[in-house]
Amino acid sequence: MPSATQAETAAVSLRVMELNDVPAAVRLHRANLASGFFVDLGDRFLCRYYRTFLTSPAGVALVAEVDGRSAGFLVGSTDDVVHRRHVMRLDRWNLARTGTASLIVRPELIARFARTRARRFLKGMRHSSPQDTTPLDQVRTGMLSHVAVEGRLRRAGVGARLVRGFIDIAKVHGVERLRLYTSYDNEAAQRFYRRLGWKPQQVLCDADSRPWVPFVLDL
Ligand SMILES: CC(C)(COP(=O)(O)OP(=O)(O)OC[C@H]1O[C@@H](n2cnc3c(N)ncnc32)[C@H](O)[C@@H]1OP(=O)(O)O)[C@@H](O)C(=O)NCCC(=O)NCCS
């Protein structure tokens, strides 16, 4: 395996994710970031979700290639508020239709949806005003939503190259802070982000009571 320096300088290149990359990103997401309600809703829903990063004015979607072959991806946004507003205004009906179709064929998820998400979801469908996209920070904040690297190409600098590429784009857009959330038990990812200078914050729990470690990087 090449050293991190070799891989970063010689073999790894970044490009913008295109529509026909989405199924491969979804496959990598399912294989590596498998727990979560969105994943349980199936690949059709995940594909719709990934497409929001391609259509959003604040979306960033990158593919890393090693020797011309896809090695990993990253999706996020340069402005979390703008991105969520875009999703609520333009993609919510597509996501709702695909999500409903997924729930119909997965009745075991309906009770979980009703218990943990239905109220928030129905409120979001009724209003798409700024109150639904309240910023977490007083400064312009981007979000690193997901990053994953093919198993056989790990620890060769591909992940770092994707994250640095995202940071460079965020800086060009005047982003002052980046956020991300990583699963509490994902120690490898936490080490990865710490090494890149991200600062861990107080643990938070999601709608399923799963703990997450937020990370912040001030630019
Ligand atoms: C996290 C991930 C993106 C890192 O990608 P990568 O290409 O392997 O990372 P890099 O080679 O750029 O950086 C490697 C550094 O990260 C840390 N790291 C990565 N994987 C690690 C592991 N399994 N155990 C301990 N440290 C690890 C180490 O500091 C490592 O440096 P070292 O190899 O010199 O010890 C990759 O492991 C992955 O796809 N994981 C599954 C998906 C995931 O967890 N995504 C993040 C959650 S949002």
Check: CB of residue 77 under 8 Å from CB of residue 143: yes
Whether ligand 1 lies within 6 angstroms of the CB of 64 is answered as no
Residue nearest to atom 20 of ligand 1 (CA): 188
What pLDDT band is residue 36 in, cutting at 50, 70 and 90? confident
Least confident of 84-93, 161-170, 187-196: 84-93
Best residue among 73, 152, 155, 183 to mutate for probing ligand 1, ranked by most atoms within 8 Å of CB: 155
**Residue 213 CA to its chain's centroid (Å):** 14
3-class SS of residue 207: coil
Beta pairing partners, 216: 179, 199
> Residue 50 Cα, ligand 1 centroid: separation in angstroms?
22
> Residue 159 Cα, ligand 1 centroid: separation in angstroms?
7
- The C-alpha atoms of residue 60 and residue 189 are separated, in whole angstroms, by 20
What counts of helices (H) and strands (E) characterise the chain? 10, 8
> Residue 191 Cα, ligand 1 centroid: separation in angstroms?
7
Whether ligand 1 lies within 6 angstroms of the CB of 32 is answered as yes
Q: E strands, the chain, where?
A: 12-16, 59-66, 69-77, 141-149, 177-183, 199-200, 204-205, 211-218
* pLDDT value of position 131: 43
Give the tens place of pLDDT for each residue, 58-75: 999 999 999 989 999 999
Tell me the average pLDDT across 11-35. 91
* pLDDT above 90 for 16: yes
Share of the chain above pLDDT 90, in %: 56
Whether ligand 1 lies within 6 angstroms of the CB of 158 is answered as yes
> Residue 30 Cα, ligand 1 centroid: separation in angstroms?
17
Whether ligand 1 lies within 6 angstroms of the CB of 155 is answered as yes
Inter-CA distances, 176 with 38, 73, 101, 132, 172, Å? 29, 23, 39, 22, 10
- The C-alpha atoms of residue 6 and residue 10 are separated, in whole angstroms, by 6
* pLDDT above 50 for 5: no
| Residue with more model confidence, 142 or 90 | 142
- The C-alpha atoms of residue 193 and residue 187 are separated, in whole angstroms, by 10
| Residue with more model confidence, 31 or 192 | 192
Residue nearest to atom 42 of ligand 1 (CA): 148
Alpha-carbon radius of gyration of the chain: 17
What pLDDT band is residue 9 in, cutting at 50, 70 and 90? very low
Q: State the residue for tokens 């829903």.
A: 45
Hey, what domains does the chain have and what are their CATH numbers?
Answer: 4-218 (3.40.630.30)
Share of the chain above pLDDT 70, in %: 77
* pLDDT value of position 109: 64
* pLDDT above 80 for 1: no
* pLDDT above 50 for 130: no
Whether ligand 1 lies within 6 angstroms of the CB of 163 is answered as no
* pLDDT above 80 for 21: yes
> Does an H or E element contain 50, and which?
helix 43-55
- The C-alpha atoms of residue 29 and residue 36 are separated, in whole angstroms, by 11
- The C-alpha atoms of residue 109 and residue 10 are separated, in whole angstroms, by 45
* pLDDT value of position 99: 67
Whether ligand 1 lies within 6 angstroms of the CB of 165 is answered as no
* pLDDT above 50 for 2: no
